[in-house]
Chain A
C-alpha cells in the first residue's frame, strides 16, 4: 500500500510532530485530533485540516486529503489504521462540507462589453473607438473622463492603447447585486529584440521577392 499523504515525511525539524501541543479533549475537534494524534500525524498536517488554505504543507491538495479521509472513514472494510469510528458515532466525522465548501466568491455578469482603442488623449479625458463585443454593428466612439480609470491603469492611457469596458451586475460575497461599469486596460508584453529581428528578416525577404534589393 502506498504511503498516505501524512505518512510522507518531508517536514523540517521544526515541524516534527508535537503531540502534546494539542489538547485532545478540546471539543469539537476532539475526534479528529484524537485520531490524528493516535497516528502521530505531523503537526503541520493537522493544521492543514483545521486552518483554511494551509493544506499545501506536505505537498497535498485539499481534494486529495478529502478523498483519502473520506475513504478511510467510510464503512467499507478498510484495513486502514484510521478506522477509529465506532458504529455509534456519526459516519462523517470529518464533514464533507468542511472540505467541499469554498468561500462564496464575488462575480460579475456582463450585459454589454466593448473593446476600446484610445484615439486621442486630452487633459482630463480621452477619446476612444469602441468595438461592440456583445452585438455586431457599427463601431462607436466615446469620451471617457480619466477619473473613471483606476490609478494603476492611468499610466496606460496613450493613443493606441487597448482596453475593455464591461457593463453588468456585480454580485458580492454576501449575494448583494449592484450595477457596475468596469474599465480595464490591456497589458501587452513589450516588443522583444527577437520579434523585431524576425520582422526585419521578413521585410528583407519580401523586398528581395519584389526585386527591390
Chain B
C-alpha cells in the first residue's frame, strides 16, 4: 500500500495497470508482460510539467522508444489528452490508436485550422496537431517515407493479438477496441462539422465535444486475465450508442474482467448495470480518477455509494473536493475577493496513482494494490 517504492519496475512476468490523475486529467500505463507497454491517454505531472506516463516510465528506466508499443487517445477531451503529443514523440516505435470518428477529413481540417491559424492555444487540437507531426517524423524512417496511419478504433476491433511466453507458459494475449459504435461515429462527424471555422466568424478556443460519442473502450486479455478500460464512454439510453452497444455485443473474447477503469469519473452518465453483471468479476477492482469543474465534482457521493455497492475494491486516485485556494499577497487577495468572491480555486490540488500488479507466473494470479500520492479507497474520498 502507500509508501511502497513507486520506482521499481515490474518483473517481465508481471502485469501492471497504473492509473494517474487527475493532474490535468487521467492516464493509464499498462504492462502486458515481457516489457510490452501500452499508454492510454495522457495527463500532466504537476511536479515536472511533463506527461505523467512519461515521467513514470522514465523513473522505471523503461526505454520509451522501443518498449511502448501503443499510444491510445481514447477521446479528445482536455483532461485526457494533455501531453499526448510529447508521448507520441518519445515513443518512437509506438502505433497510435484513436477513434475512427477522427479519421474524417473535417476533423483533420479542424486540427490544421486550430493548430496553425487560430492565434491561440486550443489544447485538444494542439495535441492532435503534435501527434500528426510525430507520425510524420516516424514516417521518415519508413519505406517511401510514408507515415504510419493511426489505428482506427471501431467496435470489437482486434488491434493486437499474440502469444506471450512467460515463465515457460504460453499466454494468448489480445487488445480489442469496443467502441465507438457506428452510430456514434456518424454523430461525432456531424458534431465535428459544426465546429469547423466559418469565414468571418470570430476565432475562439475550440469547445469540447459533449456528450462523449467517440470514447474508445479497451478490452485487454492476457491469458485468463481480462481488463476493461472504460474511458469516458457515456450511456444515454440510445441502443445504438454508448455502453448499450457494447453489452449487447459478444464479438470480442468472452471473459470476466478483474480490473475495471470506471468510465467518466464514476458519473452515473457512464453507468450501465449490465457492464457489472456481464463483463466483470463478482468483485472486480474498480479504479477511477475524480473530476472537478465549477460546481461539478465527480464522482458525487451518490456515485460513490453506487460503485461501492458493486464492488468491495473501488479506488480513486484523488479527492475531488480537495481544491486549494492559492495564497497570494494581501492586496491581490482582496481584489480577487472583490471581483470573484470566494469562487476561485485550483482546478485540482490532489493527485495520485493507483498501481495494480499481478504475476502471471503465480497461479491463480492475485492483484497487489499500491496507492501513491492522494490515491485511496473510493469510500474515503469525501471523508
A209 adjacent to B136 (CB under 8 Å)? yes
A-B interface contact total, Cβ < 8 Å: 150
Which residues of chain B come closer than 8 Å to A16, judged between CB atoms? none
A189 adjacent to B339 (CB under 8 Å)? no
Which residues of chain A come closer than 8 Å to B259, judged between CB atoms? none
Most buried by B among A142, A145, A180: A142
B199 adjacent to A193 (CB under 8 Å)? yes
Which residues of chain A come closer than 8 Å to B105, judged between CB atoms? 200, 203-204, 207
User: A199's contact among B117, B120, B335, B341, by CB below 8 Å, is which?
Assistant: B117
**A202-213 vs B: 1/0 string, CB under 8 Å?**
111011011110
Q: Residue on B with the closest CB to A165?
A: B339
User: A210's contact among B150, B203, B331, by CB below 8 Å, is which?
Assistant: B150
Which residues of chain A come closer than 8 Å to B132, judged between CB atoms? 206
* Shortest CB distance B260–A (Å): 29
Stretch at the interface among A22-30, A42-50, A133-141: A133-141
Which residues of chain A come closer than 8 Å to B116, judged between CB atoms? 195, 198-199, 202
B334 adjacent to A160 (CB under 8 Å)? no
Cα separation A158 to B206 with both chains bound (whole Å): 11
Interface positions of A from 138 to 161, Cβ below 8 Å from B: 138-145, 148, 156, 158-161
A contacts with B: majority SS: mixed
Stretch at the interface among B58-66, B247-255, B343-351, B354-362: B343-351
Cα separation A145 to B338 with both chains bound (whole Å): 11
A140 adjacent to B347 (CB under 8 Å)? yes
Which residues of chain A come closer than 8 Å to B106, judged between CB atoms? 203
Which residues of chain A come closer than 8 Å to B149, judged between CB atoms? 210-212
A117 adjacent to B205 (CB under 8 Å)? yes
* Shortest CB distance B309–A (Å): 32
With A158-B204, A209-B139 as known contacts, state yes or no: A195 contacts B113, CB within 8 Å.
yes
B335 adjacent to A191 (CB under 8 Å)? no
**B112-126 vs A: 1/0 string, CB under 8 Å?**
110011011000000
**B128-152 vs A: 1/0 string, CB under 8 Å?**
0000100010010000001101100
With A188-B120, A199-B112, A210-B149 as known contacts, state yes or no: A141 contacts B344, CB within 8 Å.
yes
The reply on B159 being an interface residue by CB < 8 A is: no
The reply on B197 being an interface residue by CB < 8 A is: yes
B147 adjacent to A210 (CB under 8 Å)? yes
Q: Residue on B with the closest CB to A117?
A: B205
The reply on B284 being an interface residue by CB < 8 A is: no
B108 adjacent to A196 (CB under 8 Å)? no
* Shortest CB distance B107–A (Å): 8
- Leading 10 A-B pairs by shortest Cβ distance: A160-B204, A203-B108, A199-B113, A210-B149, A142-B344, A143-B343, A202-B112, A160-B205, A199-B112, A188-B203
Selected A-B contacts with CB under 8 Å, 19 pairs: A111-B331, A119-B294, A138-B346, A142-B344, A148-B340, A159-B204, A181-B336, A188-B119, A191-B198, A192-B199, A195-B113, A196-B109, A196-B113, A196-B198, A199-B109, A203-B106, A203-B109, A206-B108, A207-B105
